[in-house]
Structure formats: C-alpha cells, structure tokens
A and B are shown apart, each in its own frame.
Chain A
C-alpha cells in the first residue's frame, strides 16, 4: 500500500523523530534533590521528606518509612512525643496553610514499630573496636546505636539506675510514657550494646584505661541545677525542679504543699508545675522575669499547662522567701527588652518554691585529662565532635548547643560517623549539603487545600491527678493524611507533571510508572515548562555548555 502514496505530500507517521530538536536548546533541565527545609531544620538529621514519602503509600510504606527514619534516629516514638519539632517551624507548607504534622507522623510510625515489633537492622561485621559511652541519655543511646550498627563494641556506663537520661528523669511520664521509652531503648540494646547502670564514671582516664577502649563518647548531660541567691531561700520549702522530677521518677515524690510557686520560664518550669498539680498542688503559679512572649518554653506546652490550671505571673522576680510568704518584685522591660527591677514589691503566700533556672554539666569526671576546653560549664568540641583530648568525643547537653533531645540524637549520630572514622583512621568527611528547597521553588498551585490534623488530647479532668499521657497519637487515616500533606520540597514525588506538560514529549519514564524520570536531551528544546510546573521544585535549568 505504502508504495502508492504520493510523493512528499503524504508522509509516514512519526517520521519527525529524525529531527533532533535538542540542539535548539540554550539551557537544559535537570532533576535535582534539594534540601527540604524540614530536613534542614531537624537537629537529629532526619531525612524527613524521604520517610514521609514512604509513609504516603500507607500499608507497607509505614515500615519502609520507619526504616528510613531510624537510620538517623533510633527513638522515633520518643521523639514523636517530646520533640519541639523545629522541622515544622521550617516546613514550607506553613506558608500555604499550616505546617505538616511531621512530629505526629513520626510518633505514629514509632508506635507502629513498637506494636508490630519491627527490629532495627542487623549490625555490620564485628570490627573488634571498643567504645565507651558515658551516659545513657539520648545522645549516648544515639551514638551507641550508630556505632553498634557499624560493628563496634559499645559499653554504656550510666550512673542512674535506669537508662534514658533526662528522657526518664526529666520529662514527666504524662508526656513520655515509660513503656514507650523502655521499648525503644530495649531495641537498641538488642543490637548488642552493653549497658551498665548504676555505674558512675568518676575518673574518665582510669575508666578508659581499665576497659582498654579505643574511643570514648561523653554524654553526661547537664544535671546540676543552677541556683540563685534568694534571701532566706535556704528554707526547707525551696527545692529544685530537676531534683523534684528525678525523685518523682524514682518513686520518691517530693514533699510539696498546696500552694506551689515555680520560678523559671523554661519547659522544665512547666513540667515541674504540671507535675506539682498532679501531686496535689491547687493552682501552681509560675513566676517569670520576662514576658509571656519571651518565655523559652514552647507554646504548645504552655497552652497545655494553662488548660491544666497552671497560672502565671510575668515580669516578676522572687526577691525573698520568708516562712510561708514570698516577696515578689515587679520588673519592667527596658528599651532593649531586658527586664529591670522597679523597686515595687508585693507579697504572696506559698508553701513550696520550685526553682527551674537551668542546669550545668557535672564535669568532675574529666579531672586530669589534658587539652579539654571548658566553655561556660560545657565542653568544647571540634567539627568532628572531638574534645581537645584525642579519642574523646562528646555531645548532647554537655557541649555548647541547644538543649533538646533531637540535638542530642543528632550529636550522637554525627559523632558516630566521626568516631568510626577515627577508629578506621579515615576522618569522616562532612555530609554533603544540598541547596535549600525554598518556598519559592514550590509551585503551590498543585497542592490540594488540606488543613492540618489535630492530635487528640486527654480529657482535662484526667490531667489533674494522673500522669497518664496527655497527647494522643493520630489514627492511621489521619497519619496517612498528614503524611500526604507533605509538599515533598525539592524532591521528586512522582506526580507525573513534568511527563505530562512537556510540549516536546522530552520527559521519559524509563522505568515505567513510579520510577524516576529522565530528560530526552535529543529532543528537549529547553523551554523550562517542566521547571515551572514541577510542584515540588525538583527540576532546575542549567546553561547548556556550548
């Protein structure tokens, strides 16, 4: 038939493939993986976008998501409860409607793992190297986990009767149920990490020598409560928050009266006040020198405290304690926003004063180690997380950094890479940092409107007297929904848009549905529509080399 077709006016279908339009191009598109702001914001170093991506599938995706998650953080069920989630503060979706509830999905995954009994990956072949970790707080657990995975032998020495550090002896059970904490710690220990509780390290040099350790990671936290001079403040009514919370956990609830005043403005102050409420105080009062806005405690915690009947007195200091009375001085902010005394006083009756003014690290064990630099009660480390003493690394609350669990976990994770490098004599190279996926890279049009889910709270009445967990987890449907609110900033999430919008059919799906795309540079003219229309900013244009 084809031989009868007229010359030139009738053509074979698809013959334009002979015309390679790729050489029209002056710029070419390329797929990129940008750094999502959530990842950037996560001190633990989680690849949040990546695990949300897996979770978005639901079903078997949850385990895949959890596995991605625990590659960086072995305590997701804990973190899903106590993390202050800077990731959400950074989340691009906040500029669209509200941030993705990353933390609640993390908790969902963590809880799923516990109930399903998912196990951490098998450690690598044994290296024969021995590492001592001092302290079993999040930082110590994180480093132990990462080192164990790399095949090193890890011993944790912990002075307290149980592991967990401030996660157990600081954060109250109504925020972090202990069975959750225990389950996640158990899983780490199951990798072969040796834990020795009730073993205080008093002399590090001796401990290292005795155990013939190849390296040491210090994670002793900051447990020494700061005090302030309060005239008459030595009276027995005054106690510190750390001791109070510690005692609570050890089954020795502190003796407090009905009218409790907590002095301080951080999360510890809130925890102390809320615990006091549960121990029978009527309406614990928090006294803080500055304003509500300046309070370092997190807003959600503050709100929960208020719901529970905690009261506040802003711009006030305790000038003295006198029997059952407190002398309160009103403060004023100066033009720089600093509180200044006004000389105006009033009196308040209180039978207990709890001080929550922060903690310092107890660095006694370092005595005799040369080269260690102490800065403001903390130990300085270099970018390899190593102290001035070779082979001794440190992280968590005892080094200069923000004090939160995620930071401690991140330190442990980073330190493990460096310790591993140190042990193998190949210094760890800094992890590559991709360009940030700013909101401007996102094409918000493509995202459905989807308000954030709200985590259910325990009824208020039950928050007066029990240490039952206050914030509940999301059910599966809500967790899935929340995961799917993720914009997948800077990382392809297989929406097929580039494949669909190219006027030149120059986007290929070499692997079929769901697989990564590729550009057919033989035909791509470089118009850039794919770049504009990629919802998540995973394509960029680069000049064509001529």
Chain B
C-alpha cells in the first residue's frame, strides 16, 4: 500500500472490510469481481491452485479493464476447469499443451500486435511442472525475446494432475509417488534446487515476483503491478495442494502462510533483475510447524523421526531468511542484485 490506511482491525490482512475505502479493498472482496474461474469446476476440495488462479486473473482482468486473453498449460488447472462439455472460464482462454503455454501466449501477443490491438493483454499460466520443467524452454524464450506476456506459475510443488509425482519444484524430503521414502531414503533428494523466479530475474525482465495464496492482497497487488509493465513478466505463486501434500482441505491458506513464515518460501518482488522488496516474516515459525501439517513429510516424524533431515530443511529456511532479509531486523533488502543474491547462497528458494 502506498498510502497508509487508517487503523482497522484486520488492516490489509483480510480480503476486504466494510470500513475500508473501495480502493483499499482487494479485488476479491468486490461482489462484481470477474470470477475468471466460476463455480462448478472440478478442483479438489480446498485446492490452492483454483483459488490462486481466480485471484490472479481477476486482478489482471481489473488491471486490463477486462481485456485479457489467457493461455493455459496442461495440468490440474486446465483439467479441472474444462472437462467437456463444461468450462469454468469466463475470459477468452486457450489450452494447447503441457509444455507450450508461454509460446502460445507469445503467439496471441504477436497476433494482437499485428492487428494493432493494444487494448488486449495476455496471460500465460501453468503449474510448476509445466513451468519450471517441461515448459522451461518456451518460458525462457518468451522472456528473452521480450514478449508482452505475464506468465504465472501456480506452484504446488509436483505433478499433481498425473497423481503427485516429483517435479523440479518438489522440495527436498517431500514424498511423492516417485520419491517414496523407501530403502532408507527420506523422500525427495536434496538437489541443487531450481528457483524459477531467480532464473527469470537473470533474464532481466521488467518484473518478477513470488507470492502465496496466504496473502491474496499481496498477490493481487503483484499482479496489478505486473500489469503496469509491458514485456515479459513472471509471477510464481505457491498454491498448496491438499491432495498432493496430504494436508487438511481447510488448511490450504494456513499452510501457504507457514511456508512463508518459516522462510522456506521467500516472498519478494524484483524489477529489472533486482529485488526491490521482500515480504517480511511476521511470526517466525520453525520449519517443523509447516512440515508437520503435511503427510508428504510424515516420514520425517514417524518413529524416532529424522532430526537430521529436519535440520537440513531448517538450514534451507535460515539461508533464505538471511539471503532475502526476511526478518524484521534485517537490513532493507532493496536493490539486491541477482548476483549478490547468488553470491550468498548456493540454493534458491525451496
């Protein structure tokens, strides 16, 4: 918020509030919001991706005055929203393939440019698999060419639509259908990680941000901000998946919040390759508090537990906290260059 709000119980934490000015309320509080995805979709109960996508697109629609086209990768979001004969989308929307959403979006943008339709804006979107793995070449190409596309990754940290397999965004130690904690293994291995947002920043595109469904207003503001730029923009949204994470359906937002508050998922914003703001941790929690609520980490707590693995995960969180300055007493993180960031750590956000 640029202008300080008069004090109100929930400040900017809740979606709206009867005492807030219209302008200070989230798009999601508007009874007239677009509902880019409408009801009747087939997402699981408590699906973070369904929520995240509506929030993102409603904000983008508002920013674009309703003139928006979306290109969607294969994945849960696509499958649960468009099983013939019913579509949940209320904006022009196309699904082509798993790996090509950024390129399809480029094609849409190119067509609009050729036709001189500067009024219509373009969003590409997909899951973490479609984004950081199989669609990565298309994404990078779109960034590098400078195409006028906002791309949004809904990160549920795995290939959920195919039954919860590991993706490049699956965190270490998580159990998936392909990283079972068998034979002495403790879930997904501790790899080098792959931070799509940092890689996006390395393309020096105008705008990169991370967000979670735990802070809808922050997410909306980032979308709105992103829409104020032209050229390639990237937003990476953490969207818990109750099915894949083995979490209670009612705790989707809670868990996203814990991911951020533990430091495992840093929430920040970067303009032209430099981090310009981070969302500070408000009530710091140990990673354990986040992990315990998810069955995909249950093996870390069974029997004698795996304190060694927990310690490694905590180290990752601590590293993020230090690197991004996530705690209140940290130095103002403005203007962290990518290289500075990389210099202090060998890993990206988990």
Contact = CB atoms under 8 A, between A and B. Distances in A.
Interface of A: 8-9, 11-21, 24, 56-57, 445-448, 450, 481, 484-488, 493-497, 499-506, 509, 512-514, 520, 522-523, 525-529, 531-533, 535, 541
Contacts of B15: 495-497, 499-501
A503 to B, nearest CB: 4
B252 interface: yes
A513 B25 CA distance: 11
A484 B39 contact: no
B39 A506 contact: yes
Interface string B276-308: 000000110000000000000000000000000
B51 interface: yes
B39 A520 contact: yes
B24 to A, nearest CB: 12
Interface string B45-57: 1111011001100
B42 interface: yes
A527 to B, nearest CB: 3
Contacts of B43: 503-504
B329 to A, nearest CB: 16
A57 B39 CA distance: 33
Interface residues of B, number: 56
A446 B84 contact: no
A418 B310 CA distance: 63
A528 B248 contact: yes
Given A9-B84, A506-B39, 20 more contacts: A13-B87, A14-B90, A15-B85, A16-B81, A19-B40, A19-B42, A21-B41, A487-B9, A493-B18, A495-B9, A496-B28, A499-B28, A500-B28, A501-B216, A503-B48, A504-B43, A505-B35, A527-B47, A527-B252, A541-B250
B26 interface: yes
A535 B10 contact: yes
B16 A504 contact: no
21 contacts: A11-B86, A14-B38, A14-B90, A15-B87, A17-B38, A17-B86, A20-B40, A446-B9, A447-B10, A448-B11, A448-B13, A484-B7, A486-B9, A494-B18, A499-B16, A500-B26, A503-B54, A513-B18, A526-B249, A529-B250, A532-B254
B88 interface: yes
A496 B16 contact: yes
Contact of B88 (A14, A527, A535): A14
A527 B51 CA distance: 12
Nearest to B216: A500
B87 A14 contact: yes
Contacts of A494: 16-18
A187 B45 CA distance: 56
B29 A499 contact: yes
B7 A481 contact: yes
Contacts of A18: 40, 86
Contact of A504 (B31, B50, B91): B50
Contacts, number: 186
Contacts of B88: 14, 16
Contact of A493 (B9, B216, B253): B9
Contacts of A501: 15, 28, 51, 216, 253
Given A11-B87, A512-B31, A527-B249, A56 B257 contact: no
Interface string B215-258: 01000000000000000000000000010000011111110010
B47 A503 contact: yes
Contact of A500 (B16, B41, B47, B48): B16
Contacts of B31: 499, 509, 512-513
A378 B251 CA distance: 54
A545 B51 CA distance: 27
Contacts of B111: none
Interface string B1-33: 000000111110111111100000110110100
Interface string B150-193: 00000000000000000000000000000000000000000000
Contacts of B93: 13
B30 to A, nearest CB: 8
A496 B251 contact: no
A446 B14 contact: yes
Nearest to A534: B14
B250 A531 contact: yes
B344 interface: no
Q: Which 10 A-B pairs have the closest CB atoms?
A: A528-B250, A496-B16, A500-B15, A16-B40, A527-B46, A500-B28, A448-B11, A496-B29, A527-B45, A495-B14
Given A484-B9, A501-B253, A496 B14 contact: yes
A448 B5 CA distance: 11
A505 B7 contact: no
Contact of B86 (A16, A493, A506, A514): A16
A503 B85 contact: no
Q: Which of B25, B38, B40, B41 has the most CB of A within 10 A?
A: B40
Nearest to A511: B31
A483 B40 CA distance: 40
A493 B25 CA distance: 15
B86 A495 contact: no
Nearest to A532: B250
Contact of B54 (A56, A505, A541): A505
A532 B251 contact: yes
Contacts of B55: 500
Contacts of B250: 527-529, 531-532, 541
Nearest to A486: B9
B87 A504 contact: no
Given A21-B42, A484-B7, A495-B14, A57 B19 contact: yes
B45 A24 contact: yes
B156 to A, nearest CB: 13
B45 A523 contact: no
Nearest to B13: A446
A2 B253 CA distance: 39
Contacts of A505: 35, 37-39, 54
A532 B86 CA distance: 30
Contacts of A496: 14-17, 25-26, 28-29
Nearest to B88: A16
A445 B28 contact: no
B315 interface: no
B42 A445 contact: no
Contacts of B98: none
Contact of B257 (A15, A445, A526): A445
Nearest to A448: B11
B345 interface: no
B78 to A, nearest CB: 12
A152 to B, nearest CB: 38
A528 B9 contact: no
Given A503-B51, A528-B248, A495 B17 contact: yes
A448 B8 contact: yes
Q: Which of A19, A56, A497, A506 has the most CB of B within 10 A?
A: A497
Given A19-B86, A503-B51, A527-B249, A446 B10 contact: yes
